Structure 1
Amino acid sequence: MILNISNLSKSYVGQSVLKEVSFHLEEKEKAAIVGINGSGKTTLLRCILGIEEADEGGIAFSKDKKMAYLAQQHADMEQEDEEYESLSGGQKTKKRLEEILMEKPDLLILDEPTNHLDIGSIQWLEKVLKRYDGAVLLVSHDRYFLDKIVTKVIDLERGKARMYLGNYTAYAEKKKMIREAERKAYENQQAEIKHQEAVIEKLKQFNREKSIKRAESREKLLSKVERLEQPEDLQNEMRLLFMPREASGNDVLIAKDLGKSFDGKRLFSHGTFSIQRGEHVAVIGDNGTGKTTLLKILNGLIQADEGEFRLGSKVKIAYYDQEHAVLHMEKTLFNEIQDTYPDMNNTRVRNVLAAFLFTGDDVYKKVGDLSGGERGRVSLAKLMLSDANFLILDEPTNHLDIQGKEVLEEAIRNYEGTVLYVSHDRYFINQTATRIMELFSNRFDNYIGNYDYYLEKKEDVRSYGDSLQKDTVQNTWVDPEELKKAQEKEAAKQDWASQKEFAAKKRKWETSLKKAEEEIARLEEKITELSTAMEEVGSDAGRLMELHKEQEAAEASLQEQYAIWEESSLALEELEEG
């Protein structure tokens, strides 16, 4: 064991932040601290690092071991250090981590290490941490990153900690099951308590000595029941629902030969693609490839150098800008909403803001005084109220905690309109995208699927590069030799529904074939046994007749199974041939 936290408690101005937090970390173990914004994650890290002093409890760190810390904002970097002056946030993270690892610490503590990193840099960090021989304790909202790195999760909720073994996905599933079990246990206990109270009241109403004694006995037993705490409904959970006012036409966006350069650098060219109603398209690529620029072109904020695009019939766009340029910094939250939607009365404005966690006097804060996460919630509120049928989102998960991301994911999955977004959040992409469009080598490569599908196919696409033949409808790159076969099968397998139907049919016929083969073997064995029995029965005519009838029935069943076997075999062959 390299680190042991025992009953750690910490309060600020009488408000408890950490309550008897306990967990441990083994040598070489990699663990994450997770929780909503304000749950005490940073406070816990500061106590472990000795920056803050705990009110109660103990922190034991193994003697002769070294601890290192990578801060979220790189506060330990000197402003005047010329080495860092020209570096981006991502480059600073990489450089600082490389310097720390050279010191070979036994415990590495990281606070939001994937902030400011593009997907390529995050993958680099994953490889580094997987190879790293020491223990890691990190805070991160990047769930895909956590799935790749950690084997233990410490969940902070309402000041208390609960430890889960496994990666983030395993933790999320277990926590959901535990929360549901706790809710059911509480509801069942409450129902039983109400039942007992009703029985006691009834017994007392009888007003007889025996019934009163029985009531007193039940009251005594009820008073000894250990009452379960009511699971708190999470008051700090956004309520988000996207609902288009009207449906767009089938063709939502058609772009042809779009090109853009900045300061002599070519971002992309010959950008030809289309987006259909109901698609959820994620735009990915390294920093500086032009993802945000593409969204700004489609929103009419800047002009393309070449090419053109057009929107389809009845398309209404709503744009989420990661810089929140659509917000007015001088306005209060209340006025920001009411001025945009003047038909909304005061109560409705307050209710909308409350759904995004702004209550009481919070609504009179100025937008300019809000944190990045708070501005993001205001932008999402305006997005929800827009009734648009085409959402264009630039890094919508930035500054959201894990819970906020999950709420946004659910809203997008349930959205009946069309979505085009830029994101480096791979878990979010996996949950919401039906198609990936990657900006790579100044071109657009399409993958019909989620992020995991993209990972599976990208090396094939990139290794062929310009030698691949282009599908001009979706600008998807494919092997020329496979193109003809793919086109022939496209009608049957063009979307997830047809693939699902194909798999279901295949399973059906495979099951039928297997059952027929098993039944044929059983019947053939039975017929052999009956033949042997008939030879041995002797002169018992009655028994001989019984065996003969059984054999006839078995022969008839055998012929039926042969027919089923033949039908199943042919059906499977036809399916495989497409």
Structure 2
Amino acid sequence: MIHLTGITRQHGSQILFQNASFQILPGTRSGLVGPNGAGKTTLFRLITGEEHPDAGEISCSKKTVIGYFSQDVGEMAGRSALDEVMAGSARTMALGEEIQAMEAAMCEPMEDSALATLLERYGDAQEEYEHRGGYDLENRAQAVLTGLGIGPLDYDRPVETFSGGWKMRISLARILTLNPDVLLLDEPTNHLDVESIVWLEDWLASDFKGALLMTSHDRDFMNRLVTRIIEVGNKTVTTYGGNYDFYLREREIRRDQLLASHRRQQEMLSKEEEFIARFAARASHAAQVQSRVKKLEKIERIEIPAEQRSVRFEWAAPPRSGDDVVRIEGLGKVWPLADGAEKAVFSGVSGLIRRGEKIAVVGINGAGKSTFLKVLAGETKPSAGSAEIGANVNLGYFSQHAMDVLDPKKTVFDTVQDVIPQASIGVVRNLCAAFLFQGDDVDKRIDKLSGGEKSRVVLATLLARPINFLVLDEPTNHLDIQSRETLLEALQSFAGTVVLVSHDRHFLRALVNRVFEIDHGEMRTYEGDYEYYLHKTGRDHRLV
């Protein structure tokens, strides 16, 4: 379907790919992985024709329809949500209009030759229209919008009235409704809640028949959908058969084999070079020496690719809090609306958060999860009831706005050192390295960092403080899989109490031992881990 052969692509002095090849075949489901800056987005842009290779060839049938969802949604204005989604299938809609015009023309008298030509055009248009799913375009657009959390009441709402996260959903709906032959998805689960992620999983697994190539920081999402991993890195593209977990295991096996081959080659080279050095001056061995020199020149040297290894950081034990961390009594929160009315977020919430618990707060988007965390953290006052913090509790709060308080002119090192001024340079560097800032990366200024990098800085400064109660609102947003694993390990070993909101199911499974669910203004408590919650609510058959 799409073949990339001998691709070379360079950005400035950085070589992204050198003689790299792979193909996207009909119906294949592939995950695209690799470190930031390795060239994943460039690969998408090469496939769509937005960029061109410096060398090599990309072949694709002219009839192949490619849909590309990126994080850059662009401007949206002047249409309703439904019209915006359908506008992504402009070619399909134009074909529908063309078919209607030709059907009207057929009712008029014309020469036999003209009719034959018209019928041929009509047949081609109908075939393409059917291939693009034109006959159920509007129904498909509505179903996709609803699945992504934008229901019938919002179909006719102007797109400019939606927030950035909801515009992302509309942009994703545009691409899915297109129903392309090849679907390229760059982080499709960002800004989606668990229900929407599960709907998207189901749609891609059962409704979508084309080829899929995607990046995702959601490990569960990747594991459930892909049967092949394409790794970008070290100037090449490497393919692994299997899902993401298989890829991790297979990559380690391949690396061990490469290290063994490299070691054997180095031993052989050492012996040959020793022979050459010893007998180079002897005329009696000149032929043997020359033979071995030529042999060494022809050998392709095995290179060990650089690997970013995570650094474990031994967290200082936080001060011990009282057994009762937060006592909640009749807690309620109401937000005032622009028209003077009020919106009740939740009410009548009572309960106890105990020392050492790791609690997930779950619920659909808009249920009030972030508001509940803000009340716990003292960022907003409750409208009713109380949330009393217990004795010796030192609270740390992370939200998506926490990145805004970083000093843009400071470096990563300076920012972390400000939090632990008494620590040695080695301790600060180890903490930075634990959050994947190694070598020269610690000298990067905050204003030069990506969203994910800023998140890691905030989390590092948070966990460095003598905090024993962490309130975390979407700490996994913007983090890649390796960063999520680093944070997960840190929280698993954290001796204090954690309350968090996250849409990463792998993260929740591995961490939490209690669940609070906010649903229609009420809170229900589940005295068990995330699997227990799924089972008790009947969601385990969909979210496993």
- The TM-score, its normalising length taken from structure 2, stands at 0.72
Which of residues 250, 259, 262 is equivalent to 2:335?
Answer: 262
Aligned residue runs from structure 1 range 71-470, under 5 A: 71-75=70-74, 77-81=75-79, 83-130=158-205, 131-183=207-259, 185-186=261-262, 228-234=302-308, 237=310, 240-263=313-336, 264-324=342-402, 327-333=405-411, 334-344=413-423, 349=428, 352-353=431-432, 356-357=436-437, 359-360=439-440, 363=443, 365=445, 367-459=446-538
Please give the alpha-carbon distance, in whole angstroms, between the structure 1 residues aligned to 2:490 and 2:441: 27
Aligned CA distance change for structure 1 residues 457 and 61 (closer, same or farther; 3 Å): farther
Aligned CA-pair RMSD: 3.7
- What's the CA shift for 1:325? 5.4
Per the alignment, in what secondary structure is the counterpart of residue 37 of structure 2? Answer: coil
Instruction: Measure the CA separation in 1 of the matches of 2:194 and 2:43.
Output: 28
* CA deviation string 1:114-133 (max 9, x = no partner): 11111122222222222112
* 1:24 corresponding residue in structure 2: 23
Counterpart-to-counterpart distance in 2, 1:350 and 1:50? 42
Query: SS of the counterpart of 1:459?
Result: coil
CA drift of 1:189 comes to: 6.1
Q: State the Cα distance separating 1:244 from its structure 2 match.
A: 2.4
* Alpha-carbon shift at residue 348 of structure 1 (Å): 5.4
Give the Cα separation in 2 of the matches to 1:400 and 1:295.
20
- Any conservation in 2 of the 1:119–1:286 contact (CA below 8 Å)? yes
- Does the 8 Å CA contact 1:316/1:390 hold for their aligned counterparts? yes
Give the whole-Å Cα distance in 2 for the aligned partners of 1:439 and 1:307: 17
Aligned partners of 2:200 and 2:231: how far apart in 1? 23
Using the TM superposition, give the Cα deviation of residue 195 of structure 1 relative to its aligned residue in structure 2, in angstroms. Answer: 9.5
Does the aligned pair in 1 maintain the 2:172–2:188 contact within 8 Å?
no
**Residue 55 in structure 1 maps to residue 128 in structure 2:** no
Distance 2:303 2:211 in 1: 36
CA distance in 2, matches of 1:272, 1:373: 35
CA distance in 2, matches of 1:169, 1:338: 36
Residues 188 and 312 of structure 1: is their aligned pair in 2 closer, same or farther, counting only changes over 3 Å? Answer: farther
User: What secondary structure sits across from 2:26 in the alignment?
Assistant: coil
Instruction: Classify the secondary structure of the residue corresponding to 1:64.
Output: coil
* Structure 1 residues 24 and 460: CA distance shift in structure 2, 3 A: closer
Q: Quote how far apart the aligned CAs of 1:360 are.
A: 4.2
CA offset at residue 108 of structure 1? Answer: 1.7
The answer (yes or no) to whether the contact 1:353–1:359 under 8 Å persists in 2 is no
Percent sequence identity is 37
Letter in 2 for 1:363: D
1:358 Cα deviation (Å)? 6.3
Once residues 56 and 169 of structure 2 are traced to their aligned partners in structure 1, the CA distance between those partners, rounded to angstroms, is 35
Shift of 1:359: 5.0
- Residue 36 of structure 1 contacts residue 402 of structure 1 at CA under 8 Å; is this kept in 2? no
Deviation readout 1:215-269 (Å, 9 max, x if unpaired): 999x98996986542342316x565554323343444333232221212222222
Given the superposition, is the C-alpha separation of residues 416 and 352 from structure 1 closer, same or farther in structure 2, using an over 3 Å criterion? closer
Shift, 1:11, TM fit: 0.4
Q: Secondary structure at the match of 1:38?
A: coil
Deviates more, 1:395-404 or 1:56-65: 56-65
* Pairs within 5 Å for 1:514-529: none
Partner AA of 1:272 in structure 2 = S
Residues 328 and 103 (structure 1), Cα distance of their counterparts in 2 relative to 1, 3 Å cut: closer
Query: What is the alpha-carbon distance in structure 2 between the residues aligned to residue 61 and residue 97 of structure 1?
Result: 23
* Cα pair distance change 1:95/1:438, threshold 3 Å: same
Structure 1 residues 48 and 449: alpha-carbon distance in aligned structure 2, compared to 1, 3 A threshold: farther
Amino acid at match of 1:293: T
Provide structure 2 residue ranges, at least 5 long, that are not aligned to the other structure: 81-157, 279-284, 337-341
Gap change, CA 1:222 and 1:106, over 3 Å in 2: closer
In 1, Cα distance between equivalents of 2:294 and 2:321: 64
User: Is this contact kept in 2: 1:281–1:437, CA < 8 A?
Assistant: yes
1:391–1:420 CA contact under 8 A, matched in 2: yes
Asked which structure has the greater RCO (Cα within 8 Å, sep 6+), the reply is 2
SS of 2:373's partner is helix
Quote the offset at 1:439 in angstroms: 1.6
Instruction: Give the residue type in structure 1 aligned to 2:231.
Output: D
What is the aligned residue count?
Answer: 451
Could you say which residue in structure 2 is the equivalent of 1:478?
none
Indicate conservation of the 8 Å contact 1:35/1:402, yes or no.
no
Which residue number in structure 1 is paired with residue 151 of structure 2? none
Equivalent AA in structure 2 for residue 457 of structure 1: K
After TM superposition, give the deviation of residue 86 of structure 1 in Å.
Answer: 1.2
Shift in Å, 1:40: 0.8
Q: Is the contact between residue 257 and residue 271 of structure 1 (CA under 8 Å) also seen in structure 2? A: yes
Once the 2 structures are TM-superposed, how far is the Cα of residue 29 of structure 1 from its aligned partner?
A: 2.0
Distance change >3 Å, CA 275–CA 12, structure 1 → 2 = same
Q: How far apart, in 2, do the equivalents of 1:185 and 1:311 lie?
A: 59
Aligned partners of 2:468 and 2:275: how far apart in 1?
A: 58
Higher mean alpha-carbon deviation, 342-351 vs 270-279, is at 342-351
Q: Is the 8 A contact 1:350 1:363 kept in 2?
A: no
Residues 241 and 384 of structure 1 are in contact (CA less than 8 Å); yes or no, is this contact kept in structure 2? Answer: no
Q: Structure 1 residue 21: deviation in Å? A: 2.5
Q: CA deviation at 1:458?
A: 1.4
Query: Cα gap change, 1:134/1:185 in structure 2, threshold over 3 Å: closer, same or farther?
Result: same
Alpha carbons of structure 1 residues 280 and 159: separation in structure 2 relative to 1, 3 Å: farther
1:187-224 superposed Cα distances (whole Å, 9 cap, x missing partner): 5766x5699699989x98xxxxxxx99x999x989969
1:31-42 aligned at under 5 Å gives the runs 31-42=30-41
Indicate conservation of the 8 Å contact 2:332/2:349, yes or no.
yes
* Counterpart-to-counterpart distance in 2, 1:74 and 1:142: 20
Secondary structure (helix, strand or coil) at the match of 1:424 reads: coil
Change (3 A) 1:396 1:238: farther
Query: What are the equivalent positions in structure 2 for 1:500-511 lying under 5 Å apart?
Result: none
Q: 1:329 to 1:178 in 2, by over 3 A?
A: same
Q: Which secondary structure state, in structure 1, belongs to the residue aligned with residue 53 of structure 2?
A: coil
Residues 221 and 147 of structure 1, relative CA distance in 2, 3 Å threshold: same
Moved more, 143-152 or 335-344: 335-344
In structure 2, give the amino acid aligned to 1:234. Q
Give the match's secondary structure for 1:272.
strand
